[in-house]
Amino acid sequence: MKILRTIGEAQKLTTSLRKKNKTIGFVPTMGYLHEGHLSLVKAARKKADVVIVSIYVNPLQFGPKEDLSKYPRDFKRDELLCRKAEVDYIFYPDDKQMYPDKFSTYVTVENITSILEGRIRPEHFKGVTTIVLKLFNIVQPHFSVFGQKDAQQVAVIKKMNADLNVNTKIIVSPTVREADGLAMSSRNVYLTKEQRADAPYLQKSLQYAKRKILLEGYNKDIEFLEGQMSKLIKSRKTATKIDYISFNDYYTLEEIKSLKNSNNSAILISLAVRFGKVRLIDNIVIKR
């Protein structure tokens, strides 16, 4: 496994791999890898000749009040995990490489970035799409693997790719969970013991809604379901604020106001909840 620190060496490598008809599978990450990331690597490993993982904590996707400086980092550990997972290359650039002085070009996907996460974190997706397009141009992957946990991120990147004719396939890999249902996230390390014990209620409340819909039919009232989910989450002392609970079309992210008249082939129920300063997201997809 090799570590590529500059855009020049990465682009030279990927150009030559493409000339040799090698399939490049790409997993973009912000490091502090956990089982969730490793499942993305595994999915890439199955289909690619060469697997490239990027590790870069992208300052552009953090808001002014967010946790950029405190975001967990441990490159040595990440390197070890990547080696074990049979990654071929880690692309590990610094800020000067990615955002040199006078950097002034940004990618903005409109509409679907101003709802859900985008309503709470207004500049977040502009940061994500800008860095992801840069990474695609550097790594030149045939396909890229993203986690289902960030369902809105996946929808936004797919929209960017469609609108800008970006030539990499997006593969979505299922969310990896702890035994009690908590979705794996680098941010879980911030949870206190009490918060950690309450956090699985996010998934419990999503499972509750899915069960109700599947067992009692699509005529269930969304307001009722949101109310019950909210009650379940608020029953946990350390869940301090629910930013949103939302029902959307999985593919277009259009909000679903009523299940009765909806003909969506897949419904995304997503939520974001604060446990003190730690903000967690999760979702579930119901396919018809």
Cα dihedral 219/221/224/226 (nearest 10): 100
Q: How far apart are the first and last CA of the chain?
A: 43
Instruction: Point out which residues bind ligand PAF (CB under 6 A).
Output: 28-30, 58, 61, 128, 131-132, 150, 153
Residue closer to ligand PAF by CB (options 133, 239) is 133
CB of 133 vs ligand PAF, minimal distance in Å:
10
Residue closer to ligand PAF by CB (options 128, 281) is 128
Residue closer to ligand PAF by CB (options 10, 229) is 10
Q: H helices within 201-269, ranges in order?
A: 201-216, 222-234
Please say whether the beta carbons of 35 and 184 come within 8 A. Answer: yes
Which among 34, 37, 124, 142 is annotated as catalytic? Answer: 37
Spatial neighbors of 61 by CB under 8 A, at least 6 apart, are: 123, 124, 125, 126, 127, 128, 131
CB of 67 vs ligand PAF, minimal distance in Å:
13
CB of 237 vs ligand PAF, minimal distance in Å:
30
DSSP, res 9: H
Q: How far apart are CA 104 and CA 100, in angstroms?
A: 9
CB of 111 vs ligand PAF, minimal distance in Å:
19
CB of 187 vs ligand PAF, minimal distance in Å:
11
Q: H helices within 140-221, ranges in order?
A: 151-164, 193-198, 201-216
142 flagged as catalytic: no
Residue closer to ligand PAF by CB (options 225, 280) is 280
Residue closer to ligand PAF by CB (options 22, 187) is 187
Side by side, the strands of the sheet bearing 266-275 are: 241-249, 266-275, 278-287
Of 263, 221, 229, the closest CA to residue 245 belongs to: 229
CB of 28 vs ligand PAF, minimal distance in Å:
4
Residue closer to ligand PAF by CB (options 116, 222) is 116
Paired sense of beta strands 2-4 and 89-91, if any: parallel
Find how far residue 162's CA is from the centre of its chain. Answer: 18
Find how far residue 223's CA is from the centre of its chain. Answer: 27
Active site residues: 37
